Amino acid sequence: MERKTHTGYLLLADISGFTSFVAQTEIEHADLALSYLLETIVEKICSLLTLCQLEGDAVFAYIEESKLQEAKSMRGLIDATYLAFREKALALHSHTTCPCRACEALPTLDLKFMVHRGEFVISQVAGTRRLLGTDVNLLHRLSKNHVFAATGWQGYALFTNQTMDHLQINRDELFKQAESYEHLGDVDVYCRDMHVRYDEMKAS
């Protein structure tokens, strides 16, 4: 059975610090807090994109290019999602009276985005939607990058070169880096420090 190939935008929103957060805190409270944060991310992202699946501490979503009416709406979605995530984490921390390590560590969690424009096939397996293709593989590989090592940023938005061309983002404003992956080759990426963007949004 032949499946249609789609062109569009793939987005992975990944909570930074998740592994150490779970390993070093009380699992019950850590799980509850992360559930609230993931729900916040999904609510924002699904206002524009289609949810594909939850992947532990990450949200994978997509939108076909023909359905994205304005390029700037993707940038706005990332801003709104990051703002909501940070505000939710701070609110959970400030409103709790629990002294456990999980509740105390909430402000240390951060959020990073990987965005790539490419091709993919949509399939249904046992009633579950799956996206397949080299570009889908690349998006997930991009979550293992060297941005933190180069910049120290925990929260950032990473765009591939293909994405930059279509979302009309000024390259001069972003940090450029080259990543390399086996079977996929070299990939130029452009990154925005979401902490700086958060301060700009709060100030406005």
What is residue 124's predicted lDDT score, i.e. its pLDDT?
A: 78
For 20-34, 35-49, 87-101, 166-180, which range has the lowest pLDDT when averaged over its residues? 20-34
What is residue 38's predicted lDDT score, i.e. its pLDDT?
A: 93
The mean per-residue pLDDT over the stretch 54-77 comes to: 90
- Angstrom distance (rounded) from CA 115 to CA 23: 28
How do the domains of the chain map onto residue ranges? 5-203
Collapsed DSSP state (helix, strand, coil) of residue 152: coil
- Angstrom distance (rounded) from CA 38 to CA 81: 11
Q: 1-35 as b/e, with b when 16 or more CB fall inside 10 Å?
A: eeeeebebbbbbbbbbebeebbeebeeebbeebbe
What is residue 36's predicted lDDT score, i.e. its pLDDT?
A: 87
Q: Which two tokens stand for residue 109?
A: 């969690």
User: How many CB atoms are closer than 10 A to CB 190?
Assistant: 21
CATH number of the 5-203 domain: 3.30.70.1230
Q: What is the pTM of this model?
A: 0.90
What is residue 83's predicted lDDT score, i.e. its pLDDT?
A: 97
CA distance between the termini of the chain: 52
